[in-house]
Amino acid sequence: MDISAVTDEARAADINSMYSDPDVDAIITLRGGWGCNRILDLIDYKTIAKHPKIIMGYSDITSLLLALNAKTSLVTFHGPVGISTWNEYSTDYVKRLLFEGQSFTMENPTDKGDNLTQVKDRILTIHGGQAQGKLLGGNLSVLTAMVGSDYLPDFKSNILFLEEVGEDIYRVDRMLTQLKLAGILGEISGFIFGKCSRCDSGESYGSLTLEEVLDDHIKPLGIPAWFGSMIGHIEDKFTIPLGVKAEIDADKGSIKLLEAAVS
Amino acid sequence: MSITRRQILQMVGTGLVATQVPMASASGIFSKSALKPPRLKPGDTVGLVNPAGATFHPEDVVIAEETFEALELKMKTGDHLMDRYGYLCCHR
């Protein structure tokens, strides 16, 4: 018997039944890992469109967030999973976005602690300016693995946000190159890179820095872009609503939501 | 492939998976304007699912439930939440 089909069917069935279950109001994933791309063709998009509900997660869940938005226009949420750190910083964004339906501005902390200047969580502007568009994105590896499929939303004139964990810098370079060759980088209106946690230089002689790689790919686009936003495999993080219109300012590193994400 | 899946579905008694969902184009077969989900309210129920990697620690589910309780939310777990198939959730 085809065991792998069973596991994919089972994971998809849990998503589908949460959307069809009238007793369930929202869906939050327990963790990421790998596996969401394997179930995209088993998701019941019609039922989801009929019963829109909040779905939240990040990392591998990027796949579901993007596919549900592409297929149903549902606003989905790049935010904490069950096993995330639900500290005050991250929970506050969840509350304002999901419970209170606020539209607000997200900006990195400016706390300098007892240092003479801020050293932690600074932003690095790649190209200044402001842009508008729908927020779309998630984990770089997961998003890149969807290129060529029918499950990515339209990035044209929208804002791409990315984060990554545990990938050598040359791999980040490779994946950004793929997004460029796929035409995605050339059509977005703005670019946000969150944190690249444990993105090392690899074992060979010589490496580019992450900043060099981002400069190589993003600076020539001439669009507002920055690195270091509070998005990624970190404890203090924004919750980003996919499919919601926003205005970004790459000089400040701010994301201003132009509409509420929930009804 | 779909026949195999259907047979397996009958075997595991899961009738909810659509094997014949029409594949929409990337532009979507539904509305182009944003489809906004209803906001959360205290007392609402969150469905906890695990569509990616397997869960190895039952304590994670307890911590998630206590987190939701602190937000005044109830929790309902997916049928396959704790299933494991190698590094993937879910096999039974």
Catalytic residue at A201?
Answer: no
Q: Do B36 and A262 touch (CB under 8 A)?
A: yes
Q: What is the pLDDT of residue B56?
A: 85
3-state secondary structure chain A: CCHHHHHHHHHHHHHHHHHHCCCCCEEEECCCCCCHHHHHHHCCHHHHHHCCCEEEECHHHHHHHHHHHHHHCECEEECCCCCCCCCHHHHHHHHHHHHCCCCCEEECCCCCCCCCCCCCCCCEEEECCEEEEEEEEEEHHHHHCCCCCCCCCCCCCCEEEEEEECCCHHHHHHHHHHHHHCCCCCCCCEEEEEEEECCCCCCCCCCCCHHHHHHHHHHHHCCCEEECCCCCCCCCCCCEEECCEEEEECCCCEEEECCCCCC
Interface predicted TM-score (ipTM): 0.93
Q: What is the pLDDT of residue A242?
A: 98
Domain boundaries, chain B: 41-92
Q: Of the listed A127, A141, A163, A167, which one is catalytic?
A: A163
> In percent, how much of chain B has pLDDT > 90?
42
Residue to test with chain A: of B3, B16, B20, B66, most A Cβ within 10 A: B16
Q: What is the pLDDT of residue B90?
A: 63
Task: Give me the residues paired with residue A248 across strands.
Answer: A131, A255
Catalytic residue at A233?
Answer: yes
Q: What is the pLDDT of residue B68?
A: 98
Give A154's contacts in chain B (Cβ within 8 Å): 26-27
pLDDT value at B4 more than 90: no
Q: What is the pLDDT of residue B87?
A: 76
Structural domains in chain A, sorted by start: 3-257 (3.50.30.60)
Q: What is the pLDDT of residue A224?
A: 98
Calculate how close chain A gets to B3, using CA atoms only, in Å: 11
Bigger pLDDT: B56 vs A228: A228
In the predicted model, residues of chain A with pLDDT beneath 50 are 1
